[in-house]
Amino acid sequence: MSYALAGSRQSRYWSEWYQRIGDVNRELWLLLSMFVIAALLNLVVASHGVILELYTLPTLFSAYFFGRRHAVMCAIASILLVIGVSVLNPSLLVSSAIVGDDAAKWFDIAIWGGLLTVIAYAMGTLYEIKERHVRELRRTYLGILSILQQFISNDKYTHNHSYRVAMYAASIAVRLGFSEERIDDVRAAALLHDIGKLETSRELLHKAAALSTEEMGEMRRHVKKGVEFLQPLGGALSRILPIVLAHHERFDGSGYESIKGEEIPLEARVLAVADAYDALTSDRPYRRAITPFEAKEIILKGKGSSFDPRVVDAFAVAFEAHEMDLPESLLVM
């Protein structure tokens, strides 16, 4: 058991490092592309000289998208690039911004470099302040959804089930490499995916015997009822409507509306796996819960039929990393 745990931790450690390296590579390619664009613009505007203002573009881009640390590093790289060019080929620095003798040239470069660094620091700081406010708004948004979900839940099981599904779905979404915004959408959809059951009778929700055809039809209508309930709210919640609407669809097309494969939003495919896993591992009126390992095997067997293979693979990785383990207090609620 200890060897398996150590192995899963090591696997998670390396996967996180690979993801970080991938993020760094993407950032480097983006910044390199900005330097290339600046050089091309320089070539078009002044084919025989370097215009310093154009080499502020990578720094501005870095500050806007990556924050203070990246912006300052990019500014330093721009300064070193211009210094290197001026040393290797002084004749290139003949734009209108740099005239006079060598002392004046180096003075202009120093002033430009200092201003560029200050701009990078200031803009990067503004970016980080904005990102902090956005994160706070996201936490507030999800907190309000949780409170809303508690008020509208028709029964305790629906509320606790939705909360657990949100945690499972977020873990799977992270493993799929979703952005923070998409993870928030998956979490919000999970919290509210059963909101349509508000208008379903408690007798039907807690019925221990098999449902009749009419009762099954009534249960299936909770999906569209939930979308109708959420649709007037608009805003960020409008993004989760397709997820809620499709969370009972199956990858092979045998779900509620018979859409299949890539026609189903990926977020809904994530929610379907998380929803099924919690349903299997929870006590229901008509059956007892099964163990997490038994539930995992059932989901793996549904790969390619009930569930998207990519989502099942991400679920399996999260499961092995113990990210699907919840506190006992949540499991017994």
Choose from 7-11, 96-100, 137-141 the range with maximum mean pLDDT: 137-141
Residue 148 lies in a domain: no
Task: Return the CA Rg of the chain.
Answer: 27
Residue 89 lies in a domain: yes
48 with 178, same domain: the answer is no
157 with 107, same domain: the answer is no
Residue 149, classed as helix, strand or coil, is: helix
Residue 87 lies in a domain: yes
Q: How confident is the model at residue 99 (pLDDT cuts 50, 70, 90)?
A: very low
Q: What tokens does 255 get?
A: 């779900």
Alpha-carbon span 161 to 278, nearest angstrom: 7
Per-residue pLDDT reduced to its tens digit, 197-242:
776 666 666 665 667 777 777 777 777 777 777 777 666 677 888 8
Domain with residue 157: its CATH number is 1.10.3210.10
125 with 164, same domain: the answer is no
Residue 255 lies in a domain: yes
Instruction: Evaluate if residue 192 carries a pLDDT over 60.
Output: yes
Last residue of a domain, one of 65, 96, 130: 130
Chain center to CA of 43: 39
Written as one letter, the residue type at 95 is S
159 with 268, same domain: the answer is yes
Per-residue pLDDT reduced to its tens digit, 249-267:
999 988 888 888 999 999 9
Number of structural domains (the chain) is 2
Alpha-carbon span 310 to 319, nearest angstrom: 14
Alpha-carbon span 130 to 68, nearest angstrom: 12
DSSP-assigned states of every residue in 8-23: HHHHHHHHHHHHHHHH
For the CA atoms of 30, 35, 39, 42, what is the dihedral angle to 10 degrees?
100
The pLDDT value recorded for residue 11 is 47
Residue 42 lies in a domain: yes
Q: How many CA atoms lie within 13 A of 189 on its CB side?
A: 33
122 with 194, same domain: the answer is no
103 with 171, same domain: the answer is no
The pLDDT value recorded for residue 158 is 59
- Structural domain harbouring 290: 153-331
| Residue, of 114 and 237, whose pLDDT is higher | 114
Residue 152, burial from CB neighbour count under 10 angstroms (0-12, 13-18, 19+): middle
121 with 208, same domain: the answer is no
CA angle, residues 118, 121, 126, in degrees to nearest 5: 125
216 with 323, same domain: the answer is yes
Per-residue pLDDT reduced to its tens digit, 115-161:
888 888 888 888 888 778 777 766 766 666 665 665 555 555 656 78
89 with 193, same domain: the answer is no
Last residue of a domain, one of 64, 98, 130: 130
Residue 300, burial from CB neighbour count under 10 angstroms (0-12, 13-18, 19+): middle
Choose from 38-52, 79-93, 184-198, 298-312 the range with maximum mean pLDDT: 298-312
Q: What tokens does 182 get?
A: 């998409």
Residue 111 lies in a domain: yes
60 with 158, same domain: the answer is no
Residue 18 lies in a domain: yes
| Residue, of 29 and 238, whose pLDDT is higher | 238
Chain position carrying tokens 């999970």: 190
Last residue of a domain, one of 62, 95, 130: 130
185 with 313, same domain: the answer is yes
187 with 254, same domain: the answer is yes
Query: Each residue of 249-270: b (16+ CB within 10 Å) or e?
Result: bbbeeebeeebeeeebbbbbbb
Give the chain's mean pLDDT. 75
Q: Which of 45, 72, 44 is nearest to 58 (CA)?
A: 72
Residue 140 lies in a domain: no
The answer to whether 211 touches 219, Cβ cutoff 8 Å, is yes
H or E element at residue 66: helix 57-66
Alpha-carbon span 154 to 207, nearest angstrom: 14
